[in-house]
């Protein structure tokens, strides 16, 4: 079937256009990046793209098999958003912290773009002061800012990020637009850039330096910059470290449902109700702020490990997000069996999983966009 434009698609869906002009913080952004941002703005409040971390790389009981995807095996379609992480690139490693080789990641990001989908990248960057991992909370932010003892070292790490980003180029020379989400879950206490380990001004200075360095010094112009928190209690907490409207393009949130392994039906039901209340409260605040500040918004990470609730997709997730103008919702990766923890670790259904039937119902919701619909929207034009 011949592709149809976003305008035609929305008219068929009886949606009106977003009346606010889209404006990226990077005035030199590539035409494809500008087009993606504009089209995401026009979809806001009307459609929600579905995403999955590392979807094209591996799934439950498989790895690096051409054209394979756990999502595709359930609904005969890929996600519309593909999530990746570049933790480890700062050292020039061959693979990221989840053991995905960077050369394969580059190829799969190119494939996701060719499929008509959207790629988003986070960065679990190691601690540049202690040389520990992201979870090493040795105080570091002041020392990597301009004038700091480790500033030059940190710049060499950013140079490696820039080199990687420049490799995300099609055979025709098109730079692939990326939703870039560095220093995520900023209000948490588990990463060295978290709320406990740097002041709001220090975080803002770090963010400002990274954005300006990549944009103005390394001339990277295919990024859409995504501000990100973990779940929060108040509006002030969510916006406390926001760097300003000239330094971020999108507001986003990470929030997961949790319950003890093997929990009873009553415990799971109670967990689901609490999660829905918290998620909707957070979405209300985030989307209000995105409207006030004229920004996009997203539920950039979510899920329920091993999905123990059979109707989680429609009853919990969809019912929680359907009334909020988020660009996408992304669930975390399908690692499969974790030998070191003796447990399964996955957040999306796979063929035969007990939530697969409900996921098919979720897929058919008119508001949801997977790869086939995304392709027809010509998001980069």
DSSP letters, 206-272, are: HHHHHHHIIIIIS---SEEEEEEEE--SSHHHHHTT---TTS-SEEEEE--B---TT--HHHHHHHH
The tokens of 315 are what?
Answer: 């009853």
We report the CATH number of the domain holding residue 252 as 3.20.20.80
User: Does residue 1 sit within a domain?
Assistant: no
Predicted TM-score (pTM) above 0.85 = yes
- Residue 303, CA distances (Å) to 240, 258, 259, 279, 313 in order: 25, 9, 12, 11, 9
Dist CA 217 CA 223 (whole Å): 14
Whole-number pLDDT of residue 2: 35
User: Does residue 381 sit within a domain?
Assistant: no
User: Does residue 147 sit within a domain?
Assistant: yes
Whole-number pLDDT of residue 17: 35
Say which residues have a Cβ less than 8 Å from residue 323's Cβ, sequence separation at least 6: none
Nearest to 38 by CA among 52, 50, 24: 24
> How many structural domains does the chain have?
1
Encode burial over 93-113: b for 16+ CB neighbours within 10 A, e otherwise: eeebbbebebebbbebbbbbb
Whole-number pLDDT of residue 191: 98
User: Does residue 222 sit within a domain?
Assistant: yes
Dist CA 165 CA 93 (whole Å): 15
Q: Which range of residues forms the domain containing residue 67? A: 6-376
Burial class from Cβ neighbours inside 10 Å (0-12, 13-18, 19+) for residue 258 reads exposed
Encode burial over 207-238: b for 16+ CB neighbours within 10 A, e otherwise: bebbbebbbeebebbbbbbbbbbbbbeeeeeb
Whole-number pLDDT of residue 146: 98
Whole-number pLDDT of residue 21: 66
Render each residue's pLDDT in the chain as its tens digit; 381 residues.
333 344 434 433 333 334 456 689 999 999 999 999 999 999 999 999 999 999 999 999 999 999 999 999 999 999 999 999 999 999 999 999 999 999 999 999 999 999 999 999 999 999 999 999 999 999 999 999 999 999 999 999 999 999 999 999 999 999 999 999 999 999 999 999 999 999 999 999 999 999 999 999 999 999 999 999 999 999 999 999 999 999 999 999 999 999 999 999 999 999 999 999 999 999 999 999 999 999 999 999 999 999 999 999 999 999 999 999 999 999 999 999 999 999 999 999 999 999 999 999 999 999 999 999 999 999 999
Please work out, in degrees rounded to the nearest 5, the angle formed at the alpha carbon of residue 234 by the alpha carbons of 288 and 228. 65
Residue 287 has a CB neighbour count (10 Å cut-off) of 21
Whole-number pLDDT of residue 7: 42
User: Does residue 161 sit within a domain?
Assistant: yes
The tokens of 90 are what?
Answer: 């700062």
């Amino acid at each position: 079937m011949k592709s149809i434009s976003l305008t035609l698609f929305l008219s068929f869906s009886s949606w009106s256009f977003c009346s606010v002009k889209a404006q990226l913080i990077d005035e030199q952004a590539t035409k494809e990046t500008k087009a993606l941002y504009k089209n995401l703005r026009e979809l806001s409040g009307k459609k929600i793209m579905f995403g999955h971390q590392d979807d094209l790389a591996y799934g439950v009981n498989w790895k690096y098999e051409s054209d394979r995807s756990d999502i595709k095996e359930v609904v005969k379609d890929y996600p519309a958003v593909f999530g990746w992480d570049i933790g480890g690139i700062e050292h020039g490693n061959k693979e990221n912290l989840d053991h995905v080789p960077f050369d394969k990641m580059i190829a799969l990001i190119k494939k996701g773009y060719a499929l008509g989908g959207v790629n988003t990248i986070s960065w679990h960057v190691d601690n540049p002061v202690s040389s520990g991992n992201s979870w090493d909370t040795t105080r570091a932010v002041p020392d990597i800012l301009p004038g700091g003892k480790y500033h030059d070292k940190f710049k060499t790490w950013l140079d490696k990020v820039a080199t990687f980003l420049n490799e995300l180029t099609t055979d025709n020379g098109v730079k692939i637009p990326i939703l870039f989400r560095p220093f995520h879950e900023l209000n948490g206490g588990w990463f060295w850039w978290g709320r406990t380990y740097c002041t709001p001004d220090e975080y803002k200075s770090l963010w400002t330096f990274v954005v300006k360095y990549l944009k103005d010094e390394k001339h990277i112009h295919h990024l859409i910059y995504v501000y990100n928190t973990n779940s929060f209690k108040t509006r002030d907490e969510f916006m406390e470290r926001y760097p300003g409207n000239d330094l971020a393009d999108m507001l986003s949130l990470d929030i997961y449902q949790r319950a003890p392994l093997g929990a009873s039906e009553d415990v799971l039901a109670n967990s689901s109700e609490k999660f829905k209340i918290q998620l909707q409260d957070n979405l209300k605040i985030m989307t209000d702020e995105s409207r006030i500040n004229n920004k996009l918004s997203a539920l950039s990470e979510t899920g329920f490990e091993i999905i123990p609730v059979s109707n989680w997709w429609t009853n919990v997730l969809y019912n929680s997000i359907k009334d909020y103008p988020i660009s996408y919702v992304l669930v975390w990766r399908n690692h499969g069996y974790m030998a070191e923890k003796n447990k399964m670790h996955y957040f999306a259904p796979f063929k035969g999983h007990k939530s697969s039937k409900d996921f098919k119902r979720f897929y058919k919701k008119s508001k949801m966009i997977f790869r086939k619909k995304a392709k027809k929207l010509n998001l980069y034009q």
